[in-house]
Amino acid sequence: MGKLGVSERQACKTLEQNRSTQRYGLKMPQKDRSLTEAIREQANRRKHRRYGYRRITEILCGLGWRVNHKRIYRLWRQYDLRIPPKRSKGTRSTGTGQNACDHRPAEYMNHIWSYDILEDRLENGRKVRVLNVIDEFTRECLVSEVAFGIRQQDVMDLLRYLFLVRGCPACLRSDNGSQFRAGKVQRFLKAMGVEPLFIEPGSPWENGYVESFNGRMRDELLDGELFLHLDEMKYVVERWRMDYNHYRPHSSLRYQTPAGFAEQCRNAGCIKPQTPVDNGVQKRGILS
């Protein structure tokens, strides 16, 4: 009446439709009601705001629901649940350099690590850098260091800490940033028996694992937060890193968590750690 100026009876008569079709409401089966509420609860959680139906399915299965992704997808679409929009991925390129991640993939835990620096801003506009280090085989984020500036000494201090608590990797992949190519850092890696793998300049896709992780961090965390000061950002980033490692299902690991997959690797012996003590480096005082 408000839009067309005619009654429902007259409109249905003109369109030759039964008036009951205009009053029918979708009735949700009782068996779907509780499951739909569980889907809504998970999809509307703040840390799950960018999750799709497959990852929500894995979370529900972990909570005890016996359901497959096809039923979740049906309810996801049928009851108009929120679907995260797809981001444009642009043109995909494969690595062409000798040290590209698809040419030299990780074969076991602690084989190849990769690291990169991600940039963001505080509420006042000041730039902040985040140095992420990941294990390419297990997809674990080993550390996310947040600071206003990342210098070569900061890189060395961070690597020294990781080598002590986790052991040395065989290789360390990175771009050609000055913090990574610095002579002091290269001498330190050589003394520790770690081979640096530098990708081709201007080819970030060759360091695809850490670039993918940076994309997840920006999409799921940084783009949705407004940080007032550095300490707040450090706390939130660390909480997200722990959630990423221990609770977030990873699609490339058959929706296992990185920490859970790493534990399987340890139990199966799919790890060849190279510790500072084995290298005899600690005796020479490099780690002290």
pLDDT digits 0-9 by tens, 19-70: 877 776 666 666 677 777 787 777 777 667 677 778 888 888 888 888 888 8
> In total, how many domains does the chain have?
2
Q: Above pLDDT 90, what percent of the chain?
A: 47
Q: What is the rounded distance in angstroms from the CA atom of residue 69 to the CA atom of residue 237?
A: 30
In the chain, count H helices and then E strands. Answer: 11, 5
Residue 89 lies in a domain: no
- Structure pTM? 0.72
Same domain, 184 and 246: yes
Q: What is the rounded distance in angstroms from the CA atom of residue 181 to the CA atom of residue 23?
A: 70
Same domain, 51 and 122: no
pLDDT at 279 over 50: no
* pLDDT at site 56: 83
CB 173 within 8 A of CB 114: yes
- Please, which pLDDT band fits residue 285 given cuts at 50, 70 and 90? very low
Domain stops at, among 55, 78, 101? 78
Range of the domain at 40: 8-78
- Please, which pLDDT band fits residue 1 given cuts at 50, 70 and 90? low
Residue 94 lies in a domain: no
Q: What is the rounded distance in angstroms from the CA atom of residue 164 to the CA atom of residue 161?
A: 5
Q: What is the rounded distance in angstroms from the CA atom of residue 105 to the CA atom of residue 131?
A: 21
Mean pLDDT over residues 229-244, rounded?
94
Same domain, 127 and 60: no
Residue 168 CA: distances (Å) to CA of 66, 131, 267, 270, 278: 41, 18, 19, 15, 10
Residue 104 lies in a domain: no
Mean pLDDT over residues 102-130, rounded?
93
